[in-house]
Structure 1
Amino acid sequence: MSKAKNSNGYLGVTEPISLSGPTEKDLVQTAEVEKYLSDAGLYESQEEAVSREEVLGKLDQTVKAWIKKATRISGYGEQFVHEANAKIFTFGSYRLGVHGPGADIDTLCVGPRHATRNDYFFRWLHDMLAEMPEVSELHPVPDAHVPVLGFKINGISIDLLYANLAHAVIPEDLDLSQDSILHNVDEQTVRSLNGCRVTDQILKLVPNILSFRTTLRFIRYWGKRRGVYSNVMGFLGGINWAILVGRICQLYPNASPSMLISRFFRVYSKWKWPNPVMLCHIEEGPLGLPVWDPRRNYRDRGHQMPIITPAYPCMNSSYNVSVSTRYVMVQEFTRAFEICQAIDEGKADWNALFEPYPFFESYKNYLEVNITARNEDDLRNWKGWVESRLRTLVLKIERYSHEMILAHPYPRDLSDKSRPLHCFYFIGLWRKQTVQAQQAEQFDIRGIVNEFKSNICAYQNWKEGMDIEVSHVKRREIPLFVFPDGVRPSRSRTAHKNIRTVPTRGVSAGQVENVLGTVSSAEGQPVPHKGNYMKQPEQDYAFPVPGSTSVLPSSLPNEEALNGHANVRAESVERELPEHYQESTFARVQNNVGHAINQHNILPPNSNNGCQPYGSGSPLNSSNRECADSAANNLLSSSPAVPVASDELDELTSFHQIKANQKDVNADQKPSLEGCSEDNLEQTCSLRPQYSNNLKRKANEELEVLSFLLHE
């Protein structure tokens, strides 16, 4: 286990950026922040707090009765049955002290070795809970990356994980922080234990828990309002936000919450991803469990936004993040920092930060995923499965289109009251502008959509009536039930009084006519942008006209690579803005490794359809793997740190280097947090959307043709 403080007495992998405390103005702003959170109803009442304690007590009694029953069924004697024990631990927002009214409670049940997960936890405990009148909405997900049993007790939502330890008897004073507890357990148990171990470590690694909690509560609320709070959809979840906030608390240990909020947005709007965010050094540990290491672990090189957990084994908690969702989050960090500057200058208030993201006004084209089932229980199970797989559709679209088509998933499901037992998900689509004009290339994603539907329908617990439809809708066709009060908002709405536009390259109707033989209607579209401002109209989208040849892929990426794996994009090279990564140690690894990989993956066009397959359809041969590994080893071990330049503000006076901290991986060299001047930070760290203008739409009775013509 990592030590809370290093030899120099500070928390974290680097020295603090600033030890300055709050000014009188900062204290006034902190009081405003706390009042805002209270007025927003983010603190639970005393009655609800007592109710949660009672529910946890009831759950603890239930699992203790369950383990005795399971032990007796296993054929053990009465003495052993009497000693049998199971214990409930909490983690997540409840353990961190940042939960709000109605929030679920993340819990962990720890049981002995004979009480196995599938036979006892998901069977016998499930049946016991089902018989309890106070339990409702019981929803097991045994095949999840972290198997979970979801339910409600007296209306309070519980997510219950299970850790099957090697202990014969679970002691009442069990300490989960000891690394020895991971001895002789399976991967699901390691992942289940990680929640509690990480939560406890975070609390040990922040200098001021009260400031940490206030700041984290604020950031969590902001993330939900701006649509970037959803781990399952490829954004960030609770533990990700906690680590990010914890790192800011380490860098500014004496800052008040209002100061930490502003610095949070500033630092992460300038952060050079994929440099990792870490609260402590990564240690190899005594048990030989794999830790996050982009040199040794090939798939770790494809992670877009590494946020490393502080407990052994250190893992990337944000492996779900894709190119598209990272781009959206960086834009949101930048917008928020600009508003914080305006607040500091008295030109805005805290409300400006929390205006909901205008998702259904931001794109011209969307995918609509409509699922249905025969009853509420089936729909609940069906929703859980579809949500867990929806991210793969985003990844496949990015991968197949060479990351030229980006997909922004809406972070939650929506329902139409007029259509019971239906649930809807939406994905906004946009495309990037290429650097050089090249031969037009067409991508037809119907094959990807159909493959996604096939994978969804392979649900192990599928029942009659479970169905899914995926269709293309334009912005003007978005159903009214997605909008508040069923009213479509005005297109002229802005979230901030200032207006800043993002330049885009126009393509005339004549150019479109030359390519497609028809002229598309000129309808402007807001595009993803930097800052919370009115967005410049995007170029027209167009789909192949009737009679045109549909371009289908000769083959799609293989199932092993795309079937929901955490590192589905491991082989892809960062193509978005190469200059953004030119000074990043980990990014250089990605680019060099990606070069070696993509040389192998680029195939000649198929004679049947003229479209080349992309991605991992063909496995890497041994020589390319050796080349990739060599590039990673050389770069991780020898890349120099980037020099730090002065900045006008104290917190960016010295952006310290971050150690990757594996003992034998890069003991001498460190990847940097890349501090530099304000102008250089703006140039190298801000992602700007780039778009092209060459698409038309063609309807298909069963599924809209989603072909994107990329005129490079």
Structure 2
Amino acid sequence: MIKEGGDAAPGSESFDDDNNNIWPGVGEIQFRPFVSNGTEKEPLSLNTPDPADEIHNARLISELIKQGGFELKDRNQLREKILIELRELLSAWAVEYIRRKRSETVSAAAACQIIPFGSFCLGVHTAESDIDVLCVTPKHISRNDFFSEIPQLLAGCEKVDRSTLLSVPDAFVPVIKFQYSGIDIDLSVARLAYSLLPENFSVADDEHLVELTDPKDVTCLNGPRVTIEILRRVPDVKQFRTLLRSVKLWARRHGIYSNMVGFPGGVAWAIMAAHVCQLYPKMNAWMLLEKFFFCYKAWAFSNPIQIAPLEDCRLPPHSHFQAYAHMAEWDPAKLAAVNRRPMSVITPTYPAANATYNSSKSTVAIIKQEVDSSFALIIKGSEGIGALFEQVKFFRLYKNFLEVQLIGYPAVMKSFCTYINSQLRKFIERLHYFSECGGPGSNFLELAHPCTDYFSPAAQDRPREWGEGQERGFFFIGLKFNDEVVKKMREEKKQVNLTAPTQDFLGGLDHFDGAEISIKVVKKKDIPEWARALANDSGRAAVKRSASAAEGDAGAGDADGSGKAAADGKRRLSGKRCDEYASRPQGLADE
């Protein structure tokens, strides 16, 4: 079994830093070394902690507790209670459903299992984390019936906040989102090819994939299977968890945690942390955190980061063709150079996928900058470890920004905001392409840095001219120009004008009823004060997340003080179903 040893930090007694969160249906978490073609991957070092390293480690854990990196034990117990109650609720429904549809009496365990995954299963959740839950059922339970009947069942539960209940059966990973006893839940379903669920069921067993006929069942199973395999691939789960808590907190505070806009998400950061644990299997979390920055400081991110060989991520023999005919797998042998992504972090189960597929030239460059500066900080020791987790002041980083303004009615804004956020990475790719191939200067744009937060002003900060009835919100993208190129452009009387890629981006967006979007360039000094206050706050919770929107006109700003930048773009979007973009895929989800 995996080693679970290690000393707790002083003052950590009320925090749950040693929870297993291994749920029935997960199976045994037993260490699996990286063995490719019969050869086990050698670690880079077998060094163990000395007394000074243990002191540094205790300081790290104390700082994580101070910064909210652990959840209180009573809060974790609430999560476990919620899962037990959900299991009872869903099992009772499944038993009754099979009796009603097939006139058969079955046990609860044979009719339904629920599998938590993501940050909770990894044991790195915080007070703000949701719980990703997969409901596993036999083949006789219809997916359509599940998404028809379960929302009604949940709506009748007094512990469910009905205002948060949202069913999205047509999403890439169909999901029911709701809040139970104050905890956000994302519930999906997978139907296995059995009349009854087998005894000692383990969702990680590849044999369950063999007879599946619906690709959505494969996709839904991917979430917990990836989570479990990550735990299996690390030699010391306890040290991995503390390392991952540190990395997640660091990434969030530095604004580089969002799979949607092109930074690594929860799965990718977990794989990157697990990779370091494999290279240095005897080190404690403090040593691993230093090695994390050391390793990725020198890493060429176009080279894949893998914690399992591809031969362990293949489809079992004799699997049903219908379910897998169109399942895309990451395979370097089949990747043309033009299709290679700037960053490759590969999931450790079938189907192997690049968890950082959304990465861009800019996001990878920003990650490298943050890793470099953090390595320079951490090698000085743990005395100033708090500085590692300081919130980055986004609006102090650049002189120019693209302001993406949204406006719409409350019924559409949540979905509209989520959709636009998912499209920003495509906008950034268009900006880089225009700079490199179609712009007035050669590579005048060095970075397009998407802020990972969505901004919406409090009621007292709303300008009077906005009026009532519609909601408004903002995304911001920091711009860094090449000073030499822009200087030469100014001498040639040329302008940095981003109107072409902006209008190209707006022209490709889907339509939403009652929603508008506009994009303009703004100078740093013109960022609204309320937005500055939110971005400079020390806690991420200060950024308002409720869906809202804003309208505006095109503008212009200095290109790093040496030329003019402009972008014109405004568009009314209408006609799109508003619930279609209300959820995110869970297989590679952000926590």
TM-score, normalisation: structure 1: 0.63
Q: How does 1:406-421 map to 2 (within 5 A)?
A: 406-418=447-459, 419=462, 421=471
Aligned partner letter, 1:324: S
Inter-partner Cα distance in structure 1 for 2:537 and 2:277: 41
Aligned pair partner of 1:125 in 138, 150, 163: 150
Pairing 1:474–2:499 present: no
Contact 1:139 1:150 in 2 (8 A): yes
**Given the superposition, is the C-alpha separation of residues 131 and 90 from structure 1 closer, same or farther in structure 2, using an over 3 Å criterion?**
same
Partner-residue secondary structure (3-state), 2:288? helix
Aligned position for 1:89 = 115
Distance 1:147 1:452, change over 3 A: farther
Give the superposition deviation at 1:111.
2.4
Q: Which amino acid aligns with 2:499?
A: R
Distance 1:83 1:336, change over 3 A: closer
Q: Which residue of 1 aligns with 2:422?
A: 388
What residue ranges of structure 2 are gaps of 5+ in the alignment? Answer: 1-28, 438-442, 463-469, 539-555, 569-580, 585-591
CA 197–440 in structure 1, closer or farther in 2 if over 3 Å, else same:
farther
Displacement after TM superposition at 1:63 (Å): 2.2
Q: How does 1:631-650 map to 2 (within 5 A)?
A: none
Identity of aligned residues (%): 33
Find the residue that maps to 1:110 and give its secondary structure.
Answer: strand
Cα 1:485–1:451 shift into 2, 3 Å: closer
Question: Could you tell me how far 1:62 is from its partner in structure 2?
Answer: 2.8
1:2·1:280 contact (CA, 8 Å) conserved in 2? no
> 2-side partners of 1:390 and 1:152: how far apart?
28
CA apart distance, 1:216: 0.9
Aligned counterparts, 1:394-433, within 5 A: 394-402=428-436, 404=443, 405=445, 406-418=447-459, 419=462, 421-432=471-482
Query: What is the identity, as a one-letter code, of the residue corresponding to 1:449?
Result: T
- Provide the rounded CA distance (Å) in 1 between the counterparts of 2:498 and 2:98: 52
How far 1:426 sits from its partner (Å)? 1.1
Matched with 1:446 is 499
Kindly state the Cα deviation for residue 434 of structure 1 after the two structures are TM-superposed. Answer: 8.3
Q: What are the superposed Cα offsets for residues 452-498 of structure 1, whole Å, 9 maximum, x if unpaired?
A: 4455442xxx44x3333333222111111122379899xxxxxxxxx
Does the C-alpha gap of structure 1 residues 407 and 435 become closer, same or farther in structure 2, counting only changes over 3 Å? closer
Contact 2:406 2:517 in 1 (8 A): yes
Distance 1:82-1:285 versus aligned 2 partners, 3 A rule: closer
SS at match of 1:60: helix
Per-residue CA deviation, residues 117-168 of structure 1 (Å, 9 max, x unaligned), is: 4x23333223332343322312334444433322210110112222232223
Structure 1 contact 366–472 (Cα < 8 Å) conserved:
yes
SS in 1 for 2:406: strand
SS at structure 2 position matched to 1:53: helix
* Residues 70, 124 of structure 1: 8 Å contact kept: no
Indicate the SS of the match to 2:111. Answer: coil
Letter in 2 for 1:286: P
Is it true that 1:369 corresponds to 2:369 in the alignment? no
Q: Is the 8 Å Cα contact of residues 111 and 165 (structure 1) preserved in structure 2?
A: yes
Q: How many residues are aligned here?
A: 493
Determine the C-alpha separation between the residues in 2 that align with 1:454 and 1:65.
49
Query: Per the alignment, in what secondary structure is the counterpart of residue 184 of structure 2?
Result: strand
**Separation in structure 2 between the aligned mates of residue 440 and residue 168 of structure 1, nearest angstrom:** 74
CA contact (8 A) 2:495 2:563 kept: no
Query: Does structure 1 residue 67 correspond to structure 2 residue 94?
Result: yes
Counterparts of 1:472 and 1:86 in 2: how far apart (Å)? 53
What displacement does 1:298 show?
4.4
Q: Secondary structure at the match of 1:160?
A: strand
Map Cα deviations across residues 648-673 of structure 1 (whole Å, 9 max, x no partner). Answer: xxxxxxxxxxxxxxxxxxxxxxxxxx
Give the match for residue 286 of structure 1: 316
- Aligned 1:495-510 pairs, distance under 5 A: none
State how far apart, in whole Å, the 2-side matches of 1:455 and 1:435 are.
30
Q: Any conservation in 1 of the 2:496–2:565 contact (CA below 8 Å)?
A: no
How far has the Cα of 1:299 moved from its partner? 8.6
User: What is the DSSP-based 3-state SS (H/G/I as helix, E as strand, rest coil) of the residue aligned with 1:295?
Assistant: helix
Is the radius of gyration larger for structure 1 or structure 2?
1
> Equivalent residue of 1:401, what SS?
helix
Aligned to 2:356: 318
SS of corresponding position for 2:179: strand
User: Among residues 37, 44, 47, which one is paired with 1:17 in the alignment?
Assistant: 44
Mapped to 2, the partners of 1:55 and 1:83 lie a distance apart of 18
TM-score (norm 2): 0.75
**Alpha-carbon offset, residue 235 of structure 1:** 0.7
SS at match of 1:275: coil
1:435–1:267 CA distance, 2 compared to 1 (3 A) = farther
Structure 1 residues not aligned, in runs of 5+: 490-519, 526-537, 551-562, 567-712
CA distance in 2, matches of 1:152, 1:6: 39
> Are residues 474 and 442 of structure 1, via their aligned partners in 2, closer, same or farther at CA, if it must alter by over 3 Å?
closer
Alignment equivalent of 1:106, drawn from 132, 150, 167 = 132
Q: Which amino acid aligns with 2:471?
A: L
Give the SS at the match of 1:310: coil
In 2, the alpha carbon distance for the partners of 1:251 and 1:416 equals 46
Matched with 1:37 is: 64
Residues 349, 171 of structure 1: alpha-carbon distance in 2 compared, 3 angstrom cutoff: same
Q: Give the alignment of 1:538-553 within 5 angstroms.
A: 538=560, 540-543=562-565
Change (3 A) 1:143 1:454: farther
> What is the rounded CA distance, in whole Å, between the counterparts of 2:449 and 2:307 in structure 1?
29
Q: By how many angstroms is 1:97 displaced?
A: 0.8
Give the counterpart letter for 1:104 in structure 2: D
1:349 aligns with 2:384: yes
Letter in 2 for 1:424: F
